[in-house]
Amino acid sequence: MTVTRFAPSPTGYLHIGGLRTALFSYLWAKHNDGKFVLRIEDTDRSRNNEDATRAIIKAFDWIGLAHDGEITYQSQRDEIYKKYIDQLLDEGKAYRCYMSCQELDSLRETQMSNKERTRYDGRYRDFEGTPPEGVEPVIRIKAPLSGTIRVKDGIKGEIVFNVEDILDDFIIARSDGAPTYNFVVAIDDALMGINSVIRGDDHLSNTPKQIIVYEALGFDIPEFYHVPMIHNENGKKLSKRDGATDVMMYKEMGYLPKALLNFLVRLGWSHGDQEIFSFEEMLALFNPKDINKSASIYNTEKLDWLNAHYIKNTPNDTLVKLLQEYDLVLSSHDKKEILLDVIKERSKTLVEMVTQIKEILDTPTQYDTKAVNKAFKGEAKAILEDFKARLMTAEALHLPSDYHHLVETVVTEREIGFGKIGQPLRVALVGKMGGPGIDSIMAIIGKEETLSRIDNALENI
């Protein structure tokens, strides 16, 4: 059974790149009817905090990716890590190193002045003498001294690391007993049965160290998929300056989880030239082997385009619920169907929807000067008066087409172009140019409100 995991370090919020790795991991597990688990890597107590963990879980809830089983917290697993440290010490695969900070510093300086790679020199590897007093030892693992470490990567192919270029006997437990990052990641992945590790390729340099831990403990090595980073349009790693990196900001900006997931699945993965994927299609088609070898480019227009697509295809009753989270309550509005049908065709985000809806529902309190100058020329007021008189006596006005019909009678009888009534009417209704068709606007706000807005305009313009 395929078991994948997402293993964020809670240092802030859920990063958009992290969500992409989580999505890939989720899809691959579920594609194979496997499990997707969540592990919070909160061993570095100085940097981690509970708020950050909560923020990550909240973002997961919003996006709707469910993890299997309980969340694993590394901070609660000290006993487990300690057991494996002791095991390695007993088996002679790890050892205590009593080097002081000063000794380490001076070793580093010598290596730097000799233009050598800075590395631990193994001086306690086979130490059998009496340990120096007053130094709490760290625990180091016995790494191979030469040869190569091969990482079989499902995306990048085989990557060969030369031991002498990258490794030394690295620390697996600090002098206060705290286990180190690469050690606990390997142990947890093994104990949690993770057999496909999908993560950002910024972790690639950790993988040889983790392989050494797997081998020392006799664990099976999982399949690795190191996913290339997301870049901005200038080819640099995506950063806050390029837009939102916090997943919850996407909610705030009015993106739908479905659109964001569709956007993310296409960042680095493709299936022919298909752009729109339902979640079911993603599940059926995703394979990490098809992830691109090179970085993907973040493109806001693409996200907007996808979001517009998903908004358009969201049923109105769902939109009513979603918009409520943006403080727009439409549940009791009798023309909400017409309103949403019109607005969802024209909006890239839910936030845009709210703005556009308010522009219709809120009586204008001022009129755009440019629009007024353009629309209120010549006979404009007389035409509006005429329309108003017809509107007052008209009955059974419900649909946009009913209002359209009324506008048309004015156009025909006065032998004027549509704009001659359309423009001043629009300014009277919403205070400016632009927006959906005036017949829809009138059907949405209704006869009384239309009359009152026309009166306001006639008085105030």
Residues within the interface to ligand GLU (CB under 6 A): 7-9, 41, 185, 199, 203
Query: How far is residue 178's CA from residue 45's CA, in Å, rounded to a whole number?
Result: 10
Question: Which residue type, as a one-letter code, is found at position 424?
Answer: P
Phi–psi pair at 151, nearest 5 degrees: -105, 120
CB of 422 to ligand GLU, least distance (A): 56
Query: Which residue number, 41 or 304, has a Cβ lying nearer to ligand GLU?
Result: 41
Task: Give the residue closest to ligand GLU by C-beta.
Answer: 199
CB of 8 to ligand GLU, least distance (A): 5
CB of 260 to ligand GLU, least distance (A): 19
Report whether 323 contacts 330 (CB < 8 A): yes
Query: How far is residue 155's CA from residue 200's CA, in Å, rounded to a whole number?
Result: 11
Phi–psi pair at 58, nearest 5 degrees: -65, -40
Query: Which residue number, 74 or 356, has a Cβ lying nearer to ligand GLU?
Result: 74
CB of 14 to ligand GLU, least distance (A): 10
Query: Which residue number, 2 or 307, has a Cβ lying nearer to ligand GLU?
Result: 2
CB of 185 to ligand GLU, least distance (A): 5
In total, the chain counts a number of residues equal to 461
> In which residue are the tokens 């359209």 written?
404
Query: How far is residue 91's CA from residue 47's CA, in Å, rounded to a whole number?
Result: 33
Query: Which residue number, 8 or 208, has a Cβ lying nearer to ligand GLU?
Result: 8
CB of 43 to ligand GLU, least distance (A): 9
CA-to-CA separations, 360 to 336, 343, 375, 429, in angstroms, rounded? 12, 10, 19, 8
Query: Which residue number, 43 or 307, has a Cβ lying nearer to ligand GLU?
Result: 43
Annotation says 240 is catalytic? yes
CB of 204 to ligand GLU, least distance (A): 10
Q: Which of 82, 115, 236, 240 is catalytic?
A: 240
Query: Which residue number, 21 or 347, has a Cβ lying nearer to ligand GLU?
Result: 21
223 beta partners? 196
Query: Which residue number, 11 or 270, has a Cβ lying nearer to ligand GLU?
Result: 11
Q: Would you please indicate which residues are annotated as catalytic (active-site) residues?
A: 240
